Structure 1
Amino acid sequence: MKRLAALLALALPLGGCGLQPLYTAGGSGPVANLLGQVEVAPIEGKSGWLVANALRDRFGEGGAASTAHYRLDVKLDDKIVGLAVRSDNSVTRERRTLRARYQLVALDTGTVVLDATAGSDAGIDVVTSEYATIAAESTALERLSEIVADQIVARVALYARNETPRK
């Protein structure tokens, strides 16, 4: 009986915690509906190609010219900086940083409805094999592209939830 009372006492505050599901009504809800209406504008470079493809994957079937109501413009900054340097001035560790500034534009009015940034970084060991180092840099870029795309989609989804009329 004491355990039941303790469980009830712990469960009561959870109802008022303020957490709400983002994708209410699943694929037919307002957030998923808006995400399906986003067209991703072309982004320059290899990192741009990776981020654009990751965004298109996450936005789903939307983004076709006939269904798009929004355009996502993204500008990327991709940098690799040497961190650890030996006494012979050779780099042993690098940091790859991928930053994105993005704007969600309503196509009917041309108004920027969301202007934000996203970014992440990764550490890379520089080894004696140049091939291995280049492969590690490429893998880091692929991973960072996925992370940045996830951040962008999450922020656009929050915008969609906040802009959807509540019942």
Structure 2
Amino acid sequence: MSWSRAGAFCLLLTLPALAGCGFRPLYGSGDGTEVVPEFAQIAIAQPDDRGEQLLRNRLLDILTPKGSPDRPRYLLNYRITESVGSVFVTRREEITRSNLVFSVSATLHDYESGATILSTSATSRASFNQTTNDYANLITERDARNRAMRDAAEQIRIRLANYFDRWRHEAPRQAQELQPLPRAGMPTAQ
């Protein structure tokens, strides 16, 4: 048996095992339906500065692409911290490459009560080259900031999706656990 046939045979043997393991996609079922309907119920807090505005716009695009909810159930607050550090320095102490560290702390609140539901954070790093041209440095740093911001927003989306997925699957189980079980030999109230 050749290696390609052996590989195909092994793949055929493992497919039933994968189908029975309980794997389910987080983002899609293939039929075009919305997988995380709770995203449509999230209002995203207003920004304080330009960096937060860019993050908010990206979160709006990936969480609520159909627009902000009229009656939100959740409020997502966020705070950004960023730092730029030198990576490569020449012998003449000229910086030739820098790292931008972009961190976001996000908190999901119940819109009416203000109770904190989830606190999470995301950190992303992006590198950029430094040259003797100031304009090129501004552009490369801006692009690095945009890359890091998009990555951090995607990390927040994944964490929110995981939370809502876990909540959706644990809530029915917890509701069943809260039901009092009838005692043996005792009549149940109808």
* TM-score bucket (shorter structure): 0.7 to 0.9
Picking from 116, 129, 132, the partner of 1:128 is 132
**Kept after mapping to 2: 8 A contact 1:37/1:62:** no
Amino acid at match of 2:127: G
CA shift for structure 1 position 10:
2.2
Picking from 99, 106, 109, the partner of 2:103 is 99
CA shift for structure 1 position 20:
1.3
Distance, in Å, in 2 between the alignment partners of 1:50 and 1:78 is 14
CA shift for structure 1 position 119:
1.4
Distance, in Å, in 1 between the alignment partners of 2:32 and 2:47 is 29
Specify the alignment match of 1:27 in structure 2. Answer: 33
Q: TM-score, normalised by structure 2?
A: 0.76
Which structure carries more relative contact order (alpha carbon 8 Å, separation 6+)?
A: 1
The change in CA–CA distance for 1:28 and 1:147 in structure 2 (over 3 A counts) is closer
Can you give the 5+ residue segments of structure 1 that lack an aligned partner in the other structure? none
CA shift for structure 1 position 130:
1.0
Specify the alignment match of 1:63 in structure 2. Answer: 68
Deviation readout 1:72-102 (Å, 9 max, x if unpaired): 0001011111222222222111001100010
Superposition RMSD on alpha carbons, in Å? 2.3
Q: TM-score, normalised by structure 1?
A: 0.86
Distance, in Å, in 2 between the alignment partners of 1:89 and 1:6 is 56
The count of residues paired between Structure 1 and Structure 2 equals: 163
